[in-house]
Amino acid sequence: MNRQKEQSRRTIEDTLNRLYLKKSSAPKAGYWVLLLIYLVTSAATSATASSGADVKFAGFIVPAYIFAGVLSSLANICIILMAVFYEKLGLITSLVLIGLQLPMIISGIVMRNNITSLPGVFGDVLAIIAVLFIYFNKKKMSDYEKVLRSQAVTDILTGLPNWFACTELIDELVRREERFAVVTIDINGFKSINDAMGFEAGNRVLIEISSKWKTIADSGETGTMDFIARLNGDQFSLVVRKFDSEDEVIHTIRRYESAMNEQINNIGYDFYISASFGYAICPDDAKDMDSVISYSDMAMHEIKREGSDEHILRFTQEMLKNDHTLEFEGKIRSAIDNDGVFFMLQPQFDMSHKLRGFEALARMRDEDGSIISPGLFIPVAEKVGLVDKIDFIVFKKSAAFVGNLIRQYDLDITLSINVSVRHLMKKGFLEEMRRHLEESGFPANQLEVEITESVMIESLEKATGYIDVLREMGVQIAIDDFGTGYSSLSYLNSIPANLLKIDKSFIDGINSSEKAKLYIAAIISLGHIMGYEVISEGVEENDQLETLREIGCDYIQGYIWGKPLPMEDVEKLVSEG
């Protein structure tokens, strides 16, 4: 286990060294040359000093004491250079040499009364001081460097390696042609923790999870060699090495997942959280660093989008085909700019087939005139922050059209629009909506805003404040896709809505078993008890309609009585009564 930890540490350390190491890379040969010069000059010094004879050098007569002084200074310079370039080895060699030399000089002075060697003693003492000074200063510098290096690769909040360290490691593993898996981890619903309990609590959650994960990685208990890093916010990356089969990778990921099931309790509440894990294996799925990271990211987003109980998914080539983000972003922008966003209206009826109103559904015309379905462009618009614009265009256009119909035919119908909660909570949105309602003269009490339950629950407290403002304006509220999100009936109590929309996925299975039917019946009863009316979405078959009638549903919206219609068909429908 310790060996694993050590190996893991060494890989990162090696990488960092490659990056940051400014350590002297003076060649070893230099050390021996300096040592040799030192020995020769020292021997010559001592010979000159003991003979006392003047030396003939380049045509000049040099007195013995001057010649000895020059040679001994040269020897001391060698010693100092050793300390400068060869750190610990240089220091030890220097001290040993001076330590051997000094007693010899002193004994020469004492025994032969040779005071011409006295400057040599001072020279040696100065050399010792210089060598020690240089060594300790250099050590201090390299300690600073170590701290700087580790800060550059450490996430300050959690103490885990950061994004930079992680990409460096992956880069290194690719270079070494090692087989490894990159797992992108994203905590589910982390935003709601921050919203509900504040950043402080959110941070403590991150710290606690990080510490659990770090313990697992360091202990080597998974059997694979793991490296965990925090990328940003609530995103982490796990690099898994030394495995023989994919099963081992999954087994390792499960261990990290199960650590989250242990209670998080140091934030004043006891609660459980989960995360989504997407992974890609190098070189099986991707050959280079950028692809393996982006593929694991794609797999993570895919499993998050699925919203199932399984939280682990491997990248597949299929996902590349599904990643239309870039392609659609351009299309959406150009549709917004060129009036390519429009709407269709799907009718809603009560159980006696009387028209209740219409839901406005966004459509987008591509440059070639073909129509793109919202199932494709809405998720992308949400991702790139353009859904707000679409929502408002659909609201303005459909309110203008339906407002006219209401006036012309004196209709008591509702227009439902879809609004993303992000939009609702955006500064100025409610004001803009109020202004538009006043200007267009659309009756506020005939407007209904559909909000998706899963999104709303994520930031419940904040959202309810905004919903209250809408209700004060007279606008009605519907909870869309009920049952698909956080499915928390208990939350319904705190949401000031009028209508509950049961998601199509429930209606699809309504007659598959008695249990399914009873479950939907229970939702309807509960909705009624809480004061909501209930509409079922996606009703296609007669027997579904019959069952819904039997269990007391108030309204239906589905292909059985009406698909989303263009404006002409809507006008025909209302004019024919």
Task: Catalog residues that contact ligand C2E under the rule CB under 6 A.
Answer: 346, 361-362, 373-375, 378, 387, 390-391, 394, 418, 420, 480-481, 537-540, 557-559, 564
Residue number, 154 or 484, with CB nearest to ligand C2E: 484
Residue number, 32 or 559, with CB nearest to ligand C2E: 559
Cβ 222 to ligand C2E, closest distance in Å?
A: 40
Span 431-470, contacts to Ca ion by CB under 5 A: 450
Cβ 363 to Ca ion, closest distance in Å?
A: 14
Cβ 478 to ligand C2E, closest distance in Å?
A: 10
Span 504-543, contacts to Ca ion by CB under 5 A: 537
For the chain, how far is it from start to end, CA to CA, in angstroms?
A: 77
Name 575's Cβ contacts closer than 8 Å, sequence gap at least 6.
409
Residue number, 84 or 376, with CB nearest to ligand C2E: 376
Cβ 503 to Ca ion, closest distance in Å?
A: 6
Residue number, 170 or 372, with CB nearest to ligand C2E: 372
Q: What is the DSSP string of 264-307?
A: B-TTSS-B---EEEEEEEETTT-SSHHHHHHHHHHHHHHHHHHT
Span from 84-92, 411-419, 423-431, 518-526 in contact with Ca ion (CB under 5 A): 411-419
**Residue 373 interacts with which of ligand C2E, Ca ion, none, CB < 5 to 8 Å by class:** ligand C2E
Output b/e per residue, 296-324; b: 16+ Cβ within 10 A: bbbbbbbbbeeeeeebbbbbeeebeeebe
3 state SS of 310: coil
Name the strand (E) or helix (H) holding 335.
Answer: helix 325-337
Name the strand (E) or helix (H) holding 483.
Answer: none
**Residue 341 interacts with which of Ca ion, ligand C2E, none, CB < 5 to 8 Å by class:** none
Tell me the angle at which helices 374-384 and 325-337 cross, rounded to the nearest 10 degrees.
Answer: 90
3 state SS of 312: strand
Residue number, 234 or 458, with CB nearest to ligand C2E: 458
Task: Indicate the DSSP class of residue 315.
Answer: -
Q: From the centroid of its chain, how far is CA 240?
A: 18
Rounded to whole angstroms, the Cα distance separating 525 from 528 reads 5
Residue number, 186 or 450, with CB nearest to ligand C2E: 450
**Residue 374 interacts with which of Ca ion, ligand C2E, none, CB < 5 to 8 Å by class:** ligand C2E
Q: Token match 């490659």: residue?
A: 18
Residue 509 to residues 242, 305, 479, 515, 560, Cα–Cα distance (Å) = 45, 22, 20, 10, 16
Cβ 432 to ligand C2E, closest distance in Å?
A: 16
Q: Which amino acid is at 41?
A: T
Contacting Ca ion (CB under 5 A), which of 168, 480, 533, 554?
Answer: 480
Task: Indicate the DSSP class of residue 565.
Answer: B
**Residue 454 interacts with which of Ca ion, ligand C2E, none, CB < 5 to 8 Å by class:** none
Residue number, 161 or 538, with CB nearest to Ca ion: 538
Contacting Ca ion (CB under 5 A), which of 234, 391, 458, 481?
Answer: 481
**Residue 161 interacts with which of ligand C2E, Ca ion, none, CB < 5 to 8 Å by class:** none
Query: What character string, x for contact with Ca ion (CB under 5 A) and - otherwise, covers 276-315?
Result: ----------------------------------------
The count of residues interacting with Ca ion (CB under 5 A) is: 5
Cβ 456 to Ca ion, closest distance in Å?
A: 13
What are the two backbone dihedrals, phi and then psi, of residue 196, each rounded to the nearest 5 degrees?
A: -80, -35
Q: What is the DSSP string of 182-201?
A: EEEEEETTHHHHHHHHHHHH
Residue number, 24 or 373, with CB nearest to ligand C2E: 373
Q: How many residues does the chain have?
A: 577
**Residue 378 interacts with which of ligand C2E, Ca ion, none, CB < 5 to 8 Å by class:** ligand C2E
Which positions touch Ca ion (CB under 5 A)?
418, 450, 480-481, 537
